[in-house]
Amino acid sequence: MPAGHIPVLLQETLRLLSPAPGEVFLDGTAGAGGHAEEIARRIGPGGILVCADADPGMLAIAASRLQGFECVRTAHADFSDFEKLEGAAGGRMFDGMLLDLGISSLQLDDPSRGFSFREDGPLDMRRDPGARVPTARDILRRANEKELADIFYRFGEERFSRRIARAIAELRKRDPVERTLQLAELVKRAIPRKAWPRDIHPATRVFQALRIAVNHELASLSAFLDGFAWHLAPGGRVAVISFHSLEDRMVKVAFRGQSAGENAVLEVLTRKPVVPGAEEIHANPRARSAKLRAARIGGQKEDPCRE
């Protein structure tokens, strides 16, 4: 297992997805391949596991880790690109799909990617470094004060979004905001010391909001949730691990909407989100905000007694 990588809610995910020999699976956020490896073991050489990732570097790590499994096929693609993903599966529908929406520890720990506020690096934050999209640095340079405040509030739920946006606007009159530690220190100064969150770095929400904005993450998730059921075989399962309340809310609403009424196509498998236990959080503190929801094609209403 690559250093620093611990797959989140692994056993819980496997229990809900129940991969079986010969099945066709999608890991739409392969990352370092932790979840994918265990799925590959269970579907065997007779199955197909499409491992996709928007980050070519992470996909290469996953491919190296999984090279011993005959069932694995890789795709450099966003998880909402169903045409490309189903093509990688030979045109077959999926028996199971997994999304782990969190940023990989390996991405976070590489200062050159710009995701971390703990080490200095360029404010990039693109999941695909080759993508021709604005970086976090570009957004901080071009967006006006109101647009920045909206990004921090909408995508990061940062209550001091206006103060932070104002501080950025004032600073860039003199110097461009281009480095991770530069932005982290600015956010710390903009938020009153007594209002700093207890369990996370004061800049966490701002960095999260910029990452989501750069990579259009909510738009990708929305597209996935709108279309995944059309690509699941009868009885197929889907599991989504999220780390942000906005993402979790989107998944909950989508699953419930598609499991209600006469035209229901889903059965919700998780009445409440599955969260890590104290032991997992102790071993992997980055798992503390993870929430897992799952459903399957079945057209039955959610069992209110299901845990």
Over the stretch 114-173, which tens digit does the pLDDT of each residue have?
Answer: 999 999 999 999 999 999 999 999 999 999 999 999 999 999 999 999 999 999 999 999
The CATH number of 10-106+218-297 is which of 3.40.50.150, 1.10.3720.10, 3.10.450.50, 3.40.50.300? 3.40.50.150
- Kindly report the CATH number that applies to the domain delimited by 134-215: 1.10.150.170
pLDDT tens-place string over residues 72-113: 999 999 999 999 999 999 999 999 999 999 888 889 889 999
Q: How far apart are CA 34 and CA 100, in angstroms?
A: 11
Average pLDDT, the chain: 93
Please state the domain extents for the chain.
10-106+218-297, 134-215
- Does 95 or 307 have the greater pLDDT score? 95
How far is Cα 43 from Cα 293, in angstroms, rounded to an integer?
Answer: 22
Confidence of residue 301 (pLDDT cuts 50, 70, 90): very low
Six-digit token string for 259: 């499991």
pLDDT at residue 6, as a whole number: 81
Burial class of residue 57, CB neighbours in 10 A (0-12, 13-18, 19+): middle
- Using DSSP's 3-state secondary structure scheme, residue 178 falls into coil
* Lowest mean pLDDT across 52-61, 64-73, 99-108: 99-108
Rounded to an integer, what distance in angstroms lies between the CA atom of residue 17 and that of residue 33? 16
Token reading at 187: 């956010």
Q: How much of the chain exceeds pLDDT 90, in percent? A: 89
Check pLDDT > 80 for residue 65. yes
- Residue 5 has a pLDDT of 64
pLDDT of residue 302: 40
pLDDT band for position 300 (cuts 50, 70, 90):
very low
- Least confident range from 43-47, 96-100, 102-106, 256-260: namely 102-106
Radius of gyration of the chain (CA): 20
Residue 189 has pLDDT above 50, yes or no: yes
Residue 250 — very low, low, confident or very high, per pLDDT cuts 50/70/90? very high
> How large is the average pLDDT for residues 173-200?
95
Distances (CA, A) of 208 to 16, 157, 169: 28, 10, 19
